[in-house]
Amino acid sequence: MKRINVTQQNYRVLTALQNDEQLGRIVYTKWYSNNRADIYINENTTYRLVPRGFWQTTLEVFKEETSLLTVKSKFSGFTITKTIDPDRPYYFKSKGIFKKGYALMNYKNEMLFEITSNFSWKKMYPGFTIYCQDNFGNEDIEKLLIMLSVHFYRTVQNAAAASAGV
C-alpha cells in the first residue's frame, strides 16, 4: 500500500507528498471560501473547483473551460456523479460511526483509498494521511480524486468545527 502525506503550509495551501515527491497541491483562492480552489497536479495541470446552486451543495471540477466532474454533497457523504463514465460514480463515505476516517468507493463498492486526519498541535493545522493500493494514484485523474478527497475531508472538518462552536 502506498502512503501519501498531506501537509498544510498555511490556511489556504495543502500539499500532497509521496516519498518527498509532490503529487498535487490545493490552493484556496480566498481566505473565507472553502468551496473555491485551484488544484495543481504535477505543476502543469490546473483544475478549478466551482460551487453551484443556491446552497452550494454541488461542486464542479473544471480543466480550462471543460467540466470534468460534478460532485453532490449529501448527508451520507459526497457523490461524484459526472465522471468519464457516467454509469460508474464514486462515493466519498465515512468509515464508522465516529467518522475516524473516510474512504473513496467506486461503483462496485470497492475501496480505492482511505484518508485519515492527523492534527498537528505544534502547527495548529490538520494534516492527512492517505493509504491507497500500489496501482492507484499514477494517472492525473486518480491524483485529482486524491486531492478532491482532501478537500472533502477538510470541508467536513470545518463544518464540524463550525457546528461545535454554535
- Quick one: three-class SS letters along 89-153? CEEEEEECCCCCEEEEECCCCCEEEEEEEEEECCCCEEEEEEEECCCCCCCHHHHHHHHHHHHHH
**How much is the mean pLDDT over the chain?**
85
pLDDT above 60 (res 166) = no
Residue 98: name the closest of 34, 156, 35 by CA.
156
Average pLDDT over residues 23-27: 94
Question: How confident is the model over 61-120, as pLDDT tens digits?
Answer: 999 899 888 888 877 677 777 666 667 788 888 887 666 789 998 888 889 999 998 876
pLDDT of 55: 82
CB neighbours of 144 closer than 8 A, spacing ≥ 6?
24, 39, 41, 47, 61, 68, 69
Specify the DSSP class assigned to residue 19. Answer: T
Please say if the pLDDT value at position 16 is more than 90.
yes
At 2 the pLDDT is 92
Instruction: Answer whether residue 159 shows pLDDT above 60.
Output: yes
8 Å CB contact between 111 and 103: yes
Given CA atoms 142, 115, 159, 13 in this order, what sign does their dihedral have? negative
At residue 84, the pLDDT reads 64
| 124 Rama sector, left if φ>0, alpha if ψ -120 to 50, beta otherwise | left
More confident residue, 59 or 56: 59
Residue 18: the pLDDT is 92
pLDDT-derived band at 144 (thresholds 50, 70, 90) equals: very high
Neighbours of 111 (CB within 10 A): 14
Instruction: State mean pLDDT over 135-159.
Output: 88
β-pair type (2-10, 13-18)? antiparallel
pLDDT value of position 165: 61
Confidence (pLDDT) at 17: 94
Cell of 41: 497536479
